[in-house]
Amino acid sequence: MHVLMVAAENDALPNAKVGGVADVIRDVPKALVAQGLTVDVVIPDYGFELGERCFIGEVSVAFKSETHVLSLFEITQNQKGVRQIVISHPLFSQSLSVYCNDNDNRPFATDATKFALFNAAICEALIQGVLTQPNTLHLHDWHSACVAVLLKFNPRYGKLAKLRLVYTVHNLALQGIRPFKGDDSSLEAWFPSLSYDGQRLCDPRYPHCFNPMRSAINLADKVHVVSPSYSQEVQIASNDAHGFFGGEGLERDLQQAAEQGKLIGILNGCDYAIQDEHEATYSQLLEQIESTLFSWMAKSAQLHSSHYIAHQRVLQFMACDKQGPLVTSVGRLTEQKVLLLCQQQSKDLTIDSVCQIINQFKGRLLVLGSGDSKLEHLFTCAMARNNNFLFLKGYGQDVGDLMYQLGDLFLMPSSFEPCGISQMLAMRAGQPCLVHSVGGLKDTVEHNVSGFCFNGDTLSTQADALLQSLTEALSLYQTNPKQWQAIKRRAADARFSWDSVVTDYITYLY
């Protein structure tokens, strides 16, 4: 069986990772090959240095009433059975980044146009034989959804219409919504001669808009979400005021997919290859943090307040030996991840209350991540207020690896989590996790067995439950080391292997 995967990210290639989807696109093909399949993976060429490449061919694409020529290259590397392919066009590499941030009045505009052209090139490469026609075409998130639209509604691709389409939803909160027409970045601007069924492609909340994610959900043969619990949650309407994030407007489509037997929840996996057994020290972590901060500072002529305060805090930590627990958190700084930490708690925010609780146990909080600029500023201010809090605005692989290895308790209070990878990485290193019991977190962390879980019916009760659970977990850490060590062992022994995941892929999706 041959599978073609289409995505925006791929951590098998340098710099082509932003979120967890890149880990999936890196790991799943290798695991499928181990099961005897062959896999091609294709993403846009963002202009990064990718190493040696081999020219495959060119395709001519009708896009925005013009003819565009795009080039396909295979990145030559030792990954048996997996072909890593990129498609090159000036539109993909103009910003030297995977994603662009558009103004709020035109969300997704730049990226939607970029990925629409990329998707059209996929279809042309298949019909022209530049890409090998697969048994299964596996699309990931909204960035690849126009492939399904073109295959189903453009007569030119009639020979491909019966290709088995699998669509994976990694993040339902990002749907890539654009107008049908009347905008330079719209479905009819991209493909002016396309005849389509607007009822199947429109956004339920904004009928004049094209919703790529809804389109792919309705057009695919199988719809995959990345944990069993999340597959149930997405069939329920979101209620932001009560802190529940479910179907995000697409719950009826997902209910229908479930009724048709199309909706499948399969948990993502984690790589358990032999890790470096060298035991790092807390001092080495602080030294690595300082080195990483210097590299971030050097990138700008102006010193960011977050980096300055963080460095002062590192010096403070270096001057005083660690006494209590080290609480860690690694991940993108988005409302999905930290909304609960931003809730008001009398005079303080929840993040301040978290710091105060940790301080009662003489502990320290270390957060690594970047994302929303307002949240970055909020966390920088919280760091300035709390002398046991170190916030690192950015991402450094070496720092993250050491945090997983050396942390005592990993904090992941996501408001929703389709699957999550950070908790798996922390557990793999033997670090128990404190998580909100939703989605993939609910499916991976067992309360008082391999970690700690909290819940609540509103944002306020969820924040209160987080603080209570944190207090209970750190009390256990301090007063019952035997039970704590047992929880650590069970966290380290938990296995969410890609081998079992791809067996389910083959059985239920392919």
The yes-or-no verdict on residue 275 having pLDDT over 70 is: no
pLDDT tens per residue, range 45-100: 999 988 899 999 999 999 999 999 999 999 987 667 899 999 999 999 988 899 99
Q: Are 191 and 320 found together in one domain?
A: no
Q: Are 287 and 355 found together in one domain?
A: yes
Domain annotation covers residue 277: no
Q: State the total domains in the chain.
A: 2
| pLDDT given at position 274 | 65
Domain annotation covers residue 22: yes
Domain annotation covers residue 276: no
Q: Are 234 and 100 found together in one domain?
A: yes
Q: Are 148 and 256 found together in one domain?
A: yes
Residue 266 near residue 504, CB atoms below 8 Å: yes
Domain annotation covers residue 180: yes
Q: What span, in angstroms and rounded, lies between the C-alpha atoms of 219 and 437?
A: 31
The yes-or-no verdict on residue 451 having pLDDT over 90 is: yes
Q: Are 373 and 227 found together in one domain?
A: no
Which pTM does this prediction carry?
A: 0.93
Q: Are 225 and 304 found together in one domain?
A: no
Q: Which domain holds residue 82?
A: 2-271+499-509
Q: Are 207 and 258 found together in one domain?
A: yes
b (16+ CB within 10 A) / e for 140-163: bbbbbbbbbbbbbbbeebeebeeb
Q: Are 166 and 204 found together in one domain?
A: yes
pLDDT tens per residue, range 384-439: 999 999 999 998 889 999 999 999 999 999 999 999 999 999 999 999 999 999 99
Confidence tier at 277 by pLDDT (50, 70, 90) = low
Domain annotation covers residue 114: yes
CATH number at residue 88: 3.40.50.2000
Q: Are 309 and 428 found together in one domain?
A: yes
Q: Are 460 and 347 found together in one domain?
A: yes
Residue for token digits 């963080």?
310
Torsional class of 56: left (φ above 0), alpha (ψ -120 to 50), beta (otherwise): alpha
Q: Are 105 and 205 found together in one domain?
A: yes
Domain annotation covers residue 290: yes
